[in-house]
Amino acid sequence: MTTELLGAILFAMIVAATPLMLVALGELVTEKAGMLNLGAEGLMAVGAVSAFIATHTTGSVTVGVLAGITAGVLLSCIFALVTIPLMANQVATGLAIAIFGVGLAAFIGKPFESSVIASTPAWNVPGLSEIPVLGKALFSHQPIVYLAWLATGIVIWVLARTRTGLVLKAVGESPAVGHAIGYPVNRIRALAVLFGGGMAGLGGAYLSVFYTPMWTEDMVAGRGWIALALVVFATWRPWRVVLGAHLFGGVLILQLFVQSSGLDLQVPAQLLSAMPYLATIVVLVLIAGNPKTIRIHSPASLGKPFRPDAH
Amino acid sequence: MVAVGLTVLTGLIIFALLGKDPILGFQVFFVYPLRSLYGLSELLLKATPLALIGMGLAVGFRAGIWNIGAEGQFLFGAVFATGVALYLPSITGVSLLVMVFAGILGGMAWALIPAWLRARFHTNEILVSLMLVYVAQLFVSWLVFGPWRDPRGFNFPQTEMFDAAWLLPTLLSGSRLNLAFALTLIVLVIGHILLAKSYYGFSIRVAGESPTAARYAGLSERRNIYAGLLIGGACAGLAGMAEVAGPMGQLTDKASVGYGFAAIIVAFVGRLQPLGIGLAALVMALFFLGGEQAQQYLNLPGSISRVFQGLLLFYLLAADVLVQFRLVRTPPQTKGAT
């Protein structure tokens, strides 16, 4: 019985971690290029609502996912436009994206609040899903989960092993040098921002189409912000993002399990719901306890605009 | 100004795209709320918490302290104020004073957490203050669903209505505009003196614009962090107190309609200047009221006001570049020429 429960918890943890992982990896790529986009919460919200509406109207999950990604890319276009050619403060613009995105999503999603879409069945990996306990936990997910893992693998590989990854990181560490060598610094940065937006949109789509197939105004519930915290937690290293996302997925799931288990813990439900947020704070404190790690690993030009003609 | 104009223009386009008459939309959104004296008083009522919180945040933003959790500090101000209103005996006159201090204290207490963590552990105050918003919302929800629920409230998540002694007196008979408006004006004046005339105002500007210079000048980074967050918390707490002791008269699970977040926009749109913040709060309050009117007359979701508020900030940030730089027409470059 206990192994079964553990398997169920592991399964749920992966499901809960997937959106965090996607959004945090997107943000990681953005930040590696030296851009700080704090708007993940808003990007996820528009991604979620667009994906839901598209799935609801066309009946196709694929169209929904594509709509979510597109919405994230479009909204991050605004961020790129305001911060790169117009050189506005990235922190302020990111906050604007967050506030605007959540508001916009609530606005366009209002007529769809009570609509339902069919939940997508899980796809069992042939053979592997037969493994006792682990098979059910790892290889019996909705297709999007495998897709997320594929995307994760590609991002990690590109960052660590390819020329593209190297150029991206160079632009984030020293845009002036990147420019001197002849790379289009601002174009690379813009693309990184759009990539981050697309990933956040995908994360949002995951929430509204797969995780809980419905749309409510507050469904993102701070996941965008937690993803931002994850990037800091991971000190800008992709593997740690994956690890961190699953730790947080665990926290999210554990409180749900405790709430639904009927255990009478004499603890108010609200305190349990607050756990992920409190955990984020605790983790930030633990990581920040060693400021040197953060300084070494954070991209050197993070958040600073670059004017090619000034060099 | 350009930003406000562009926002209104975009608003008209949005109305047109939604198949509503843009002229009617404009009227409903921007004119209807201002048609009567009562409408004007409602505008000032809504602008009060926005200006108050925005002013507090502006002090922090100038110092380079990004307090994004005003929403949570607002709620804690409301919680502390509710606490004294529910548990202390009411004495006319004294009660209100106690309540004002309770509100300020509540907001400061909640802001103290990110301040202390940042000063002690260098944690990012943006994320910590934001996470605490969710915690504060859950805390309020626990209070009004649990220990503080009005036993005669038909199980609605709300506390008892406050005694009259715990309510802010209204300034205009027949309106809901209350003493908090006057307090806000005073806070804006204090803010102006603090930022423009005092040594402290100068020192936070140095700290915000060049932390390195501030360190060389021997300005305490720690003091800067605490002051930046606590002033914001105090103002937000005061605003929260004014909401429960003003138009609401009780604490509910919907104590805030997002004033804490809107106030971030107010602070930026007001260019972190007291006068600008006052004006920006009026514009943003108009968006809130316009959203309510649009709900009523045009059958549009009220969240349209948040869309407009976000648009305003984008246009402002984008327009900044035109303020800071001048467009210069350069002759087309010929290939090979340097």
**Residue-wise pLDDT tens digits, A216-247:** 888 898 899 999 989 988 888 899 899 999 98
At A71 the pLDDT is 97
Domain extents in chain A: 2-112+143-299
For range B125-144, the mean pLDDT: 91
Cα separation, B265 vs A164, whole angstroms: 37
Q: Bigger pLDDT: A249 or B11?
A: A249
Tell me which residues of chain B have a C-beta less than 8 Å from any C-beta of chain A: 66, 68, 117, 121-124, 126-128, 130-132, 134-135, 138-139, 141-142, 145-146, 261-262, 264-265, 268, 300-301, 303-307, 309-311, 313-314, 317-318, 320-321
The 10s digit of each residue's pLDDT in A50-90 is: 999 999 999 889 999 999 999 999 999 999 998 988 888 88
Q: What confidence category does residue B208 fall into, taking pLDDT thresholds of 50, 70 and 90?
A: confident
Query: Are B124 and A217 in contact (CB < 8 Å)?
Result: no
Mean pLDDT of all residues in chain A?
87
Q: Return the CATH architecture of domain B2-321.
A: Orthogonal Bundle (1.10)
Query: Are A99 and B310 in contact (CB < 8 Å)?
Result: yes
CATH class, domain A2-112+143-299, is: mainly alpha
- Among residues B297, B292, B264, the alpha carbon closest in space to that of B20 is found at B297
How distant is the Cα of B3 from the closest Cα of chain A, in angstroms? Answer: 13
* Residue A173 CB contacts under 8 Å (≥ 6 apart), including other chains: A34, A299, A300, A301
Q: Do A64 and A201 touch, CB atoms closer than 8 A?
A: no
At A260 the pLDDT is 73
Nearest chain B residue to A84, by CA: B318
The 10s digit of each residue's pLDDT in B53-65 is: 999 999 999 888 8
Least confident of A258-272, B99-113, B175-189: A258-272
Query: Are B307 and A277 in contact (CB < 8 Å)?
Result: no
What's the token pair of residue A26? 């997107």
At residue B312, does pLDDT exceed 80?
Answer: yes
Tell me the β-bridge partners of A225. Answer: none
Nearest to A88 among B132, B264, B320 (CB): B320
Nearest to A100 among B127, B314, B320 (CB): B314
For range A105-130, the mean pLDDT: 81
Cα separation, A80 vs A72, whole angstroms: 12
Cα separation, B225 vs B236, whole angstroms: 17
At residue A211, does pLDDT exceed 70?
Answer: yes
Cα separation, B238 vs B183, whole angstroms: 9
Calculate what percentage of chain A has a pLDDT beyond 90. Answer: 39
Q: What is the ipTM of this complex?
A: 0.84
Query: Are B128 and A281 in contact (CB < 8 Å)?
Result: yes
